[in-house]
Amino acid sequence: MTSTDVAGSGLGRPGATIRAARLHGVHDIRVATEPEVPAGPGDVRLHVSAVGLCGSDLHWYDEAAIGDARLDHPLVLGHEFCGRLDDGRLVAADPCIACGTCPPCRSDREHLCMNTRFAGHSITDGALRSTLAWPARLLRPLPASISEEDGALLEPIGVAIHAMDLAKIRPGERASVHGCGPIGLLIVQLLRLAGASAIVASEPLEHRRAAAMRLGATTSMDPGADAGRSGRPPGLDVDVAFEVAGTNEALADAIDGVAPGGRAVLVGIPEDDRTTFQAGIARRKELSLLHSRRMRSTDLDRAIALAADGRVDLAGLITDRYSLDEAPAAFATLAARTGIKVIVRP
């Protein structure tokens, strides 16, 4: 089924209220009752079932900012979400509302839209609320084999798919993943499906290294404890590296471990909106450095197909579940990094 199969009803509810969790400042999440936002043309009402908290949400929570965007009003976060229509059908959402007219949009690269609105970013409220109106064209009906919680992880799969597309990995190639949070662990699974001959998982947290090994990594290492005399993990010698931690240290490890002529894909978002690395090493190896941004619109459909067939483990990534009223505790757990994936159930 496609977005054209989605229809909604009952969008005008005068006086209706909802519950929403808004970020007011650093570590300041407040849950309150507020008026339901009227739906616009082409929108349908979605009763939010599950929202995954993401590393980008953590930037907002820890810094009241992400990249060059700054919090200037209370914002509802949450861009990994699924929900039910008024008729009960479960749907997944593409969080990117592209303009459709700028040069990237006209070249089928809506994820690079110059006028994009994105759920839980800038002026566009996200999904940490009981209901929201969202464009019907950005919703995808889900098969019965995908649960509500799994549906909230489809956008992260799409992000991992896009990073894999940029890497252009071929069967038999060797790869490393630097940072094994949810996106990194999904990349590990996609590398296994793509036929990588070696998958090195570099991650400082033991429980995430264990998850990487369970999901398909052939080797895991602690980038600090396993560093050689150079201060970096020795002997990776891979064809492609994925930097998913958003730190200069992880990127340095990735560049050091890639063989000459290899590729490094930057997926992580740095705290201060700056990434630095030793140019000499990358230049001598003639590495290709690729930046990955979100997912393409078609990647959501590919993610649904992977999840529907059970080719990726989603439920095994979820370690913590909270209600909407427990959103402040959910973000505290996200910041503590004691688990893997935190889900909020509005």
The fold for domain 157-291 equals: Rossmann fold (3.40.50)
The sign of the torsion formed by the CA atoms of 125, 128, 131, 136 equals positive
Cα torsion 234, 193, 58, 76 to 10°: value is 170
- Separation of first and last alpha carbons in the chain: 25
- In the chain, where the domains are located: 3-153+314-345, 157-291
Rounded to whole angstroms, what are the CA distances from 85 to 5, 9, 17? 12, 8, 17
The fold for domain 3-153+314-345 equals: Quinone Oxidoreductase; Chain A, domain 1 (3.90.180)
Residue found by looking up tokens 């989605």 in the block = 6
- Residue by residue, pLDDT tens for the chain (346 residues) are 444 455 554 455 667 889 999 999 999 999 999 998 888 889 999 999 999 999 889 988 998 888 778 888 999 999 999 999 999 999 999 999 988 889 888 888 888 888 889 998 888 999 999 999 999 999 999 999 999 999 999 999 999 999 999 999 999 999 999 999 999 999 999 999 999 999 999 999 999 999 999 999 999 998 877 665 444 555 568 999 999 988 888 888 888 889 888 999 999 888 777 788 888 888 888 888 898 888 888 899 999 999 999 999 999 999 999 999 999 999 999 999 999 999 999 9
Residues 116-121: contacts with CB under 8 Å, at least 24 apart: 118/79, 118/294, 119/78, 119/79, 119/81, 119/93, 119/95, 120/57, 120/60, 120/75, 120/76, 120/77, 120/78, 120/79, 120/95, 121/66, 121/69, 121/75, 121/79
